[in-house]
Structure 1
Amino acid sequence: MRWNLKPTPDSEKIKSLQDSLNIDELTATLLLQRGIETFEQARQFFRPKLEDLHDPYLMKDMDKAVIRIEKAIKEQENILVFGDYDVDGTTAVSLVSSYLKSYYPNVDTYIPDRYDEGYGVSFKGIDYADDNGITLIIALDCGIKSIDHVAYAKEKNIDFIICDHHRPGDTLPDAVAILDPKRADCHYPYDELCGCGIGFKLLQALAKNRNQTIEDLLPYLDLVATAIGADIVPITGENRVLAKFGLDVINSNPRPGFKAITQNLKKKNLTITDVVFILAPRINAAGRIKHGNYAVRLLTEFGIEESEAFAKELEVFNADRKELDKQITSEALLQIIENQEENKYSTVVYKEDWHKGVIGIVASRLIDTYYRPTLVFTKSGDKLAASARSVKDFDVYNALEACSEYLLQFGGHMYAAGLTLEEKQFENFKTQFEKVVSETIAEELRTPEILIDAVIDLKDITEKFVRILNQFEPFGPMNMMPVFMTENLRDTGYGKRIGSDESHLRLFVKQDDSEGYGAIGFGMGNKLEFTQNQQLFDAVYSLEENEFNGNVSLQLRLRDIKSKQ
């Protein structure tokens, strides 16, 4: 594990921010590392307001999208809201369809079958629209590369509005409107929205057209916050505003579907991390194990009993998903060892009966053991399909592009992608992918890195500092939970391995005569020896509140420790 300290910001900027905000040097440093240099930027960071959201009509084609939807409503057309089967897609479909249905009945939803249709807009979905007299499809979280699909729909007199956040290709589909801030000709001020976030901008524009205010849209923000967390988009700018107010809805007045999932939790207030690890996996499990429609039903149902029944179904799917994930990860690790591929630059594994719904999770699990770009393949019809995951700062999308001669199709972004190929091309692709990665990955990227915000002493952890740190939430990309390094720590003799397999580490640490803190290191049981017999060690950690038996205490969430010997 590499420990790297973030550059210390300019001392004059630190002093200026300290003076303008009346804060200590450490807090000013943390803010500057997050790009916050002025009083107004700090105000937006600590006190986001709905008024900070941009005018939706600044987005290219927004006016065309609204005009086409209003025309459909006026002429009593049937509208289909189409979205992908993951969290971003199903929340986006739930968002847009439930809003439209609040004042217009002729709205249907469609989530493609992961196994029968695959990712994105499908010909089968367009045929469904045609069979049901639908003349307008609103595609969410997909469609930016669906040139042939949109052309096929046009032949059937079906119009498309595309709301996507993925990178466009060189040619755009012939749709009525394409809402995507990543379009080269779109000058919208913020281009990091997720698919559900683009859907919300469409709602904002429609609401503006109907003399509604942003407050009228507040109840929908629980869906947007969930998608922001699950899709791992930067929690900056508009995403920070949407996530903050969406979390408020989740914690104060959640829709029945969310309430059904969380009602047995002991935690009173969910953070964005809880959304990622509690809500998102259950919503995702529907599309992974059964069908994304189950998630949409849960998220758009407002009866309590029905919501609880749907939530129980998702709980079963999620349990099945966990079991499959564990089994396939184990088989994939064995395959790497049997093929003597432990020391390669990339991981490419394949077994025809691996469950397509969990191969992306398995790819992430494999990176935990072999830290390198990873692809997990399975059989999908008469083709092979794969999920790709990458390591920090390595663009797996570009690597796939360099192997595109062997692929039927691929899509995604820097850290995650999906692809399909003919089975006969598997070995050629595997060889080429390894070659591309070995030639382009920097040596330091082959070792996991911990970025440290600041070196501090335990005495720096004051009540006021912790109070301010809590206001940095919600955390996420571009605003990760601060990571600190403290030197010369000593365990006070309470150190032990914990957990059913003793894989975790619990300590009670002190530095000189400072106040002591409990510390927990998940998966760090093997580091206990560094802390024994009063020996000194350095630790990298975040600060978190630990709730136990109704008592709340501050603890160090260990990321890594290194012996001083």
Structure 2
Amino acid sequence: MTKRWNILESDTNEVSFLQGELKINATLCRILVQRGIKNFEQAKDYFRPQLSHLHNPWQMKDMAKAVNRIIKAFDGNEKILVFGDYDVDGTTSVASMYSFIRKLHSEVAFYIPHRYKEGYGVSKAGIDFAKENNFSLIIALDCGIKSVDLINYANTLGIDFIVCDHHLPDEIIPDAIAILNPKQKDCDYPFKDLCGCGVGFKLMCALCEQMGIPLENALDYLDLVATAIAADIVPMNGENRVLAFYGLIKANENPNLGIKALATLGGAKQPLHINDLVFMIAPRVNAAGRMDDASKAVRLFIAATQEEALYYAEQLHNDNTDRKEADTDITAEALTLISENQLWVERRSTVVYQPHWHKGVVGIVASRLIEHHYKPTVVLTESGHYAAGSARSVPGFNLYEAIHACREFLLAYGGHFAAAGLTLEKHNVDLFRAKFEEVVSATIREEHLVPEIVINSVISFKEITTSFYNILRQMEPFGPENMTPVFIARNVVDTGYSKIVKENHLRLVVKQEDLTFTGIGFNMADKLGIVKDRHPFDLVFKIDENDWNGQKTLQLRIEDIKASEA
């Protein structure tokens, strides 16, 4: 698939000034300037995050109300129910808050709604469970900001709600005792991009201060917070960067037993990096809710012994294996459906539907299809008497607005710029497909249909040294707004040793001037012709470290290859 190369610019004066202050490579300074780092003090805060950089939790609207209501519950020996969503952010939020409260108060339990029986967020079944079991306070984490009617229902039953959420509020917010959400228009909290677990963490910090107990009672859960930050794809800057930085330290030095068990089963190398949380921990946790019951993910994170943690980790590991098989099979089926219908191939959107597909993986399948057919994609399956599914967008295109424009054919929908969920009558699938294509065709720009690689800087091979790489590593943890730097090297030539390995992958041995590097391009066997035709080519890559038999060498992780312009 052809890709657009977008090479970022940096203000040359700002780069020169920063290089004068830091005395490091100019290419590194270009990347730092792109990330808003323009002087020594900003660089110091970036490279050396401190817990003291975290904002005062009392700046969050309703924090005092939330803390006072929880302490009142402690004093009155009330039963508290910790409620959360079934994804990574929700289950880590619940596990951390439940464990924190349990050390202070015996009358506490947790509740995770079943994805297919109850749906997303606060559920009537959960509130009824609370009433039947005499819970008088529910702390909702990573959900609740849109649950106006359900929280009103809880109020009629004498159950109070504290909402800890990070999703964008509607105009009407629930009538809860307290709503902690920095995205509220009248909330003065300085950092708006916390995940749900991060909001819960701030509540724990405030409780520590109010109750006069050591802050370590909250800091104990930083590895769970870091896992939620990594999985929820929130910006890796500001407070999130500080929380993730120290969460990774916790995950490596004294990990939650659940994280340790999943790392063991996943064969993770030490030390753990943010990518391990994203690609190894998070999928296994998410798989619990996708394939079965996410409560086992909470039980994993609150396990008291390593044996107990391994017991639940194995269940999540098995769920993830089932999930991978399901999404592989459904993706193959969907690609066949598309290839058999030339009209669909030529369209600017993709909508596929099969009633037997597993509802838990349709969002993943939509993302997989975009890797093959780069266009806004909707994958639907049967859900009871209806068709339901997930949609995913390509960068730059507002998927939610496109689905909103098709609302005449929908029973329900929700989401945001890049992803959405929807439900419709089965007989409306074809009508929705036609309308969605009409809307996308009228509004999508040509460049949105071609994947873009954002490149931070041109680089020469002579700049790629161990000390350069060591500074790159100090820019971790990487994530949105602080992505792994991508480089381009011009006029590279093959040494004659490049080849295809394992059928689909390209192993490069290339040189620029008199310096040689090896590299790996996954699923890039089709680029061998460019490499082997003896003409110079331009290489886009990330810099990686290869550890082979205890020997560490720098290597290139190839992102794209194009023939150099004459």
1:433, distance to aligned residue in structure 2 (A): 2.0
Residue in 2 that maps onto 1:300? 302
Whether 2:457 is the aligned partner of 1:457: answer: no
How far does residue 403 in structure 1 lie from its aligned partner after superposition? Answer: 2.6
Aligned to 2:22: 21
- 2:50 aligned residue: 49
Tell me the C-alpha RMSD between the 2 structures: 1.5
Contact 2:100–2:217 (CA under 8 A) maintained in structure 1: no
Q: Is the 8 A contact 1:18 1:28 kept in 2?
A: yes
Asked if 1 retains the 8 angstrom alpha-carbon contact of 2:466 and 2:554, the reply is no
Superposition deviation, residue 357 in structure 1 = 0.9
Alpha-carbon distance, 1:513 to partner: 1.0
Report deviation, 1:24. 2.6
Runs of 5+ consecutive residues of structure 1 not aligned to the other structure:
none
Change (3 A) 1:90 1:194: same
SS in 2 for 1:139: strand
Q: Deviations over 1:48-86 (max 9, x none)?
A: 000000011111111111111111111111111111111
SS of the residue corresponding to residue 342 of structure 1 reads helix
Which residue number in structure 2 is paired with residue 278 of structure 1? Answer: 280
Pair 1:212–1:37, CA change in 2 (3 A): farther
The AA in structure 1 aligned to 2:458 is: V
Aligned to 1:386: 389
The answer to whether the 8 A contact 1:166-1:412 is kept is no
Matching of residues 392-411 of structure 1 within 5 Å:
392-411=395-414
Partner of 1:320: 322
* 8 Å Cα contact 1:288-1:358 kept in structure 2: yes
Task: Give the partner amino acid of 1:286.
Answer: A
Asked whether the 8 Å contact 1:491–1:508 carries over to 2, the reply is: yes
C-alpha distance in 1 between matches for 2:400 and 2:31: 31
Residues 408 and 68 of structure 1: CA distance in aligned 2, closer, same or farther (over 3 Å): farther
Distance 2:13 2:563 in 1: 35
Which whole-Å deviations, capped at 9, do the CAs of 1:449-486 have from their partners, x for residues lacking one? Answer: 00110111111112221111111111110011110001
How many matched pairs?
Answer: 562
Structure 1 residue identity aligned to 2:355: E
Q: Distance in 2 between matches of 1:408 and 1:126?
A: 24
Partner of 2:534: 534
| Residue in 1 that maps onto 2:112 | 111
Which residue does 2:227 correspond to in 1?
226
Q: Which residue of 1 aligns with 2:491?
A: 488
Post-superposition offset of 1:266: 5.3
Indicate the SS of the match to 1:263.
Answer: helix
- Mind listing any 5+ residue stretches in structure 2 that lack a counterpart? none
1:68 and 2:93 equivalent?
A: no
Which structure 2 residues correspond to residues 110-509 of structure 1 after superposition, within 5 A?
110-263=111-264, 265=267, 267-340=269-342, 341-499=344-502, 502-509=503-510
Q: Does the 8 Å contact 1:504/1:523 carry over to 2?
A: yes
Structure-2 separation of matches of 1:435 and 1:307: 50
C-alpha separation in 1, matches of 2:152 and 2:424: 24
Q: Distance in 1 between matches of 2:358 and 2:268?
A: 33
Return the offset for 1:11.
1.9
Paired residues of 1:492 and 1:534 also in contact (CA < 8 A): no
Question: Is the Cα–Cα contact under 8 Å of residues 221 and 249 in structure 1 kept in the other structure?
Answer: yes
CA contact (8 A) 1:146 1:173 kept: yes
Q: How much has 1:432 moved relative to structure 2? A: 2.4
In 2, the alpha carbon distance for the partners of 1:76 and 1:266 equals: 43
Partner residue in 2 for 1:81 = 82
For residues 539 and 228 of structure 2, what CA distance do their matches in structure 1 show? 33
User: Is the CA contact 2:8–2:455 (under 8 Å) kept in the aligned structure 1?
Assistant: no
Which deviates the most, 149-158 or 229-238? Answer: 149-158
Q: State how far apart, in whole Å, the 1-side matches of 2:47 and 2:187 are.
A: 29
Change in CA separation of 1:213 and 1:412 when aligned onto 2, cut-off 3 Å? farther
Counterpart-to-counterpart distance in 2, 1:195 and 1:426 = 34
TM-score normalised by length of structure 1: 0.97
Q: C-alpha offsets along residues 117-171 of structure 1, whole Å, 9 cap, x if unaligned?
A: 1111111111111111111111111111111111111111111111111111121
The offset of 1:504, in angstroms, is 0.9
Which residue identity is paired with 1:474? P
Deviates more, 1:253-262 or 1:272-281: 253-262
C-alpha displacement of 1:320: 0.6
Q: Cα deviation per residue 1:228-285 (whole Å; 9 max; x = unaligned)?
A: 1111111000000010111111111111111111125251111111111110111111
**Aligned partners of 1:38, 1:548: CA distance in 2, in Å?**
38
Question: CA contact under 8 A between 2:115 and 2:293: conserved in structure 1?
Answer: yes
User: Deviations 1:516-563 (Å, cap 9, x if unpaired)?
Assistant: 111000110111111115332111000011122222111000000012
Deviation at 1:424, TM superposition (A): 3.5
Contact 1:5 1:454 in 2 (8 A): no
Alpha-carbon offset, residue 213 of structure 1: 4.2
Distance between the aligned counterparts of 2:499 and 2:215, measured in 1? Answer: 52
Equivalent-residue separation in structure 1 for 2:216 and 2:7 (angstroms): 39
The alignment partner of 2:100 has SS state of: helix
Letter in 1 for 2:556: L
Q: Which amino acid aligns with 2:68?
A: I
Do the aligned partners of 1:17 and 1:28 also contact (CA within 8 Å) in 2?
Answer: yes
- 8 A Cα contact 1:88 1:231, kept in partner: yes
Q: Percent identity?
A: 53
Q: Which runs of 4+ in 1 moved over 6 A?
A: none
Shift of 1:497: 1.3
How many angstroms apart in 2 are the aligned matches of 1:346 and 1:161?
Answer: 41
Q: Is the 8 A contact 1:456 1:484 kept in 2?
A: yes
Contact residue 36 and residue 42 of structure 1 kept, 8 A: yes
Q: Secondary structure at the match of 1:377?
A: strand
- Write the letter of the residue equivalent to 1:401: H
**How far off its partner does 1:189 sit?**
0.6
| Equivalent position amino acid for 1:483 in 2 | V
**C-alpha separation in 2, matches of 1:213 and 1:277:** 33
1:553 matched residue in structure 2: 553
Judged with a 3 Å threshold, the aligned counterparts in structure 2 of structure 1 residues 408 and 151 are, in CA distance, closer, same or farther, namely farther
Residues in 2 aligned to 1:380 and 1:78: alpha-carbon distance in whole angstroms: 35
Structure 2 letter corresponding to 1:335: L
Q: Which amino acid aligns with 1:394?
A: F
